[in-house]
Every structure is written in structure tokens, then in C-alpha cells.
Amino acid sequence: MTVDGRATRGDATRQAVLDTALDMFAKQGYRATSVRDIAARCGITHPGLLYHFPTKEALLKAVLERRDEVDRAEADDGVVDFANLDGRALLAHLVASAAKNATKRGIVELFANLSVEATAPDHPAHQYFVERYASLRATLIRGLDALASAGVLRPGVVPATAAAHLIALMDGLQIQWLLDARTDMAGSLRSYIDTVLTEPLAGP
């Protein structure tokens, strides 16, 4: 879409490239996917693609931004603001995300692949992931602090430690699930959360 709301042909192609790139980065990883492959699946040639995204790296960044938009849109079912959920709702949201991820192998592969690749300081997505982890960690600590104040955190649980555990569990369980789809990411995460709270998390 252009700023004034009219869709052009170029924008349609741009969208198709973005969707296809997301799918292929997800299934094969960023490094293992070539610009040519993406272009071919969109019915154009690779210089055609590079007209819209000048480099492969620019395409990756656009894909990540688009992914965040989609996630935000989905979370806005009830116009919820993730960063300001109350403690229990925040933890419930993590479990729900894990359950939803189990229906999207491609997305899980993309982020599992990238979060390791992007660990290298010179990776195009390095800064994106540094910020992503820092922000998630901060949100979790805030939520756990609130739960501590409300007295529903099991004594001895340190918010910063539990936050690190939660993030590690989400990442680690994804690897186990990718290796063996019988892994219950959501259930496993929930059972950790229940050891942290004085009263189990409600819900499905």
C-alpha cells in the first residue's frame, strides 16, 4: 500500500516477496536460502527482487519487521498491550504463544535458526536480537516483580533468575520440539511456571 491507500502492482510483488522470504528463511534458515530461490517462487528473477530490496540483508530486516507487525496484530485480538499485562496474564500469554508456535514449524525454525546465527556480533540481525531479548527480559522481570509484591510468588524465587529461566526454556524447548514433535512446549513451560507461583496458572 502506498501512503494514500492505493495499492500498486509493485506493492503486491513486494508483499509476495516478503511472505515467500519469511516462509523460506523459516524452513531452511537465512544463510541456506538464496535470493534466486525466493525470487523464483515469486515468479520473478533475482534482479527483479533486488529492485524491491537492494540486498539480501535488507530483505531479512524487512521480514523481521513484518513478523513483528503480524505478531502485534494477532496479540491485538483484544487490543492487549504485551508490555503492560499483569503478571499472571503475561505468563499465560507465554504459554499460549508456545501452544500457537506448535502449529507453525516454519516460524519456529526461523527464530531458532536466527537467534543462534545472530549471536555473532557481525550478523545483520544481531542488534535486532539483542534488543528483542533485552526487552522480553525486562517485561518478564516487571511482571514477576508485580507478582512478588502481590505475594503470589513462591518464596525464594528471584525475578531476574526466573526471567532468564523462562526465556531459556522457550528457546530450548523449541529445539527439542523441532527434533521431536511429540515435545509438549506449552505444557512443559506451564509446569515450570507452576513451580514459581504459589497457585497454579488457570486456563486451558
| Contact positions vs a copy of itself (CB under 8 A) | 28-29, 31-32, 109, 112-113, 115-117, 119-120, 129-130, 133, 156-158, 161, 164-165, 167-173, 175-176, 178-180, 183, 188, 191-192, 195
- Distance between CA 95 and CA 9 in Å, rounded? 40
Cβ-contact 124, 61 below 8 angstroms: yes
- Distance between CA 73 and CA 53 in Å, rounded? 24
User: In the set 51, 134, 135, 138, which binds DNA (CB under 7 A)?
Assistant: 51
Residue 203 binds DNA, judged by CB under 7 A: no
* 5-24 footprint of DNA as x/- string (CB under 7 A): ---xxxx-x-----------
Burial 186-203 (b: 16+ CB within 10 A, else e): bebbbebbeebbeeebee
Residue 57 binds DNA, judged by CB under 7 A: yes
CB of 116 to DNA, least distance (A): 18
User: In the set 19, 27, 29, 44, which binds DNA (CB under 7 A)?
Assistant: 44
What does 171 bind: DNA, a copy of itself, none (CB cut-off 5 to 8 Å by kind)? Answer: a copy of itself
Which residues are CB-neighbours of 2 under 8 A, at least 6 positions away? 8, 11
What does 152 bind: a copy of itself, DNA, none (CB cut-off 5 to 8 Å by kind)? Answer: none
Pairs from 42-49 (Cβ < 8 Å, separation ≥ 24) = 42/13, 42/16, 42/17, 44/13, 44/17, 48/13, 49/17
- List the end-to-end C-alpha distance of the chain, in Å, as a whole number: 39
Give the nearer residue to DNA in terms of CB position, either 43 or 172: 43
CB of 33 to a copy of itself, least distance (A): 12
- Rounded to the nearest 5°, which phi and psi values hold at 24? -80, -40
Chain residues binding DNA by CB under 7 A are: 8-11, 13, 33-37, 39, 43-48, 50-52, 54-57
